[in-house]
Amino acid sequence: MLKDYKYRIYPDREQQVLINKSIGCCRYIYNWALARRKNVYETEKRTLSVTELSRELTYLKKEPEYEWLNEVSSEILQQAIRNMDSAYNHFFKHGYGFPKFKSKHYSGKSFKNINGTGIDFDKKRIKVLKIGKIKFALDRKFEGILKSIVISQTPTNKYYASVLVDDGKPLPEKAKIEENSTVGIDVGIKDFATLSSGTKISNPKYYENDEKRIKVLHRRVSRKQKGSNRRMMAVFMLAKRYEKIANKRKDFLHKAVKMIVSENQTVVIEDLNVEGMLQNHNLAKSIQSVSWSEFFRILNYKCEWHGKNLIRIGRFEPSSKLCTCGFKHDGLKLSDRQWQCPACGTVHDRDILAANNIKRFGLQKLNLKTPAIGGKGDVEFPALVGAKKRQNMNLRIVA
């Protein structure tokens, strides 16, 4: 099993200079390789391979005007070419955006090391080729084979090392799928998530709560002269605010996923088209703030780690429109949070009904024996256990 461990590192001044040089060289080679590939395709109608670009890089480093490329490890430069090639292939195979040239001010400043790396837990040092042994904050240890180390720099000038480790352990066997240990999850904006048990996890709205302060910081940046020290300080304060929001959101998502995965053997979710939903400009800001994609990503790999089952149902299933008696309310609007079934008279909470139907659709997808809609034995969804544990996680949960 591959796991990634992220540590805060504290390089000295000389190491910071080498790290910044490595980041800059990787950015330059990424842009150079992308420009070469585009130019060759436009003129010769063929695609340069990674091998050909690596060969050209060897000759490029021998030219006098590019001698500064030899100050960093050659491995990270070749890895920058592979990153460009990967982005290029993702565009044609998966329809992602075409690779863009990286600016000096882009946020994803990093480089990857595979060979010549190591970690010493006793001395709290991480070894990186041509940079040396860097001090890091040890918060947890691991056992396994070290695969790679990615050094990154944040906009607030913090440095991190992401260590990829193969622990040599196989993935645990999947738990048995049973109705009583299955939960359906309906995500939303007003409430972050509604579980089929009736539990609602409220949306913390970290960005909305800090939006006024962010607008003030943005105005301060726009009023400063470009290139001045005061503008650099204003940009730093703005980045620091965004980083604080991102950290709080990440902490909330991990705690919410831990609660769900630890209390259930099977989780059923909708396969939402989040990217398409962002085209709605009335809801785009709220959808980005609630971070559904990151929630689904964390839920996916944590279910794999703990041997839990994750079932996805179709995005067009009428989860919030289908009553337990079988009636489908086609005229349901997004603003209708409750609705009464004209067939049986039952008053439904939209989110709880959707979570129950998501659970039912997920079990029916696996051809498990579930009571038919409208039958005498309609599914009863038991309440989740572990209320004390949830309170310790600082999650605002409405039962």
Whole-number Å distance between alpha carbons of 350 and 152 = 43
**C-alpha distance from residue 344 to each of 54, 339, 341 (Å):** 69, 12, 6
Q: Residue 155 pairs with which residues in a beta bridge?
A: none
Based on the residue annotation, tell me whether 270 is a catalytic residue of this protein. yes
* Residue 171 · residue 307 · CB < 8 Å: yes
State the burial class of residue 304 (Cβ atoms within 10 Å of its Cβ: 0-12, 13-18, 19+). middle
Report helix, strand or coil for 312: strand
Residue 141 has φ and ψ, to the nearest 5°, of -110, 165
351 included as an active-site residue? yes
Is 65 among the residues known to form the active site?
A: no
Rounded Cα–Cα distance for residues 213 and 235 (Å): 14
Among 85, 186, 191, 317, the one annotated catalytic = 186
E strands of 132-249, at which residues? 132-136, 145-153, 159-166, 182-187, 191-195, 200-202
How many other CB atoms sit within 10 Å of the CB of residue 348?
Answer: 22
Q: What residues pair up with 195 in beta bridges, in sequence order?
A: 185
User: Could you say which of 85, 191, 317, 351 is catalytic?
Assistant: 351
What DSSP state is assigned to residue 385?
S
Other CB atoms within a 10 A radius of the CB of residue 39 amount to 11
- Position 144, amino acid: G
Active-site position among 191, 263, 270, 317: 270
Q: How far apart are CA 163 and CA 220, in angstroms?
A: 37
Q: Which of 142, 183, 180, 179 is nearest to 162 (CA)?
A: 142
Interhelix angle 292-306/229-263, rounded to 10 degrees, is: 50
- Catalytic residue numbers? 186, 270, 351
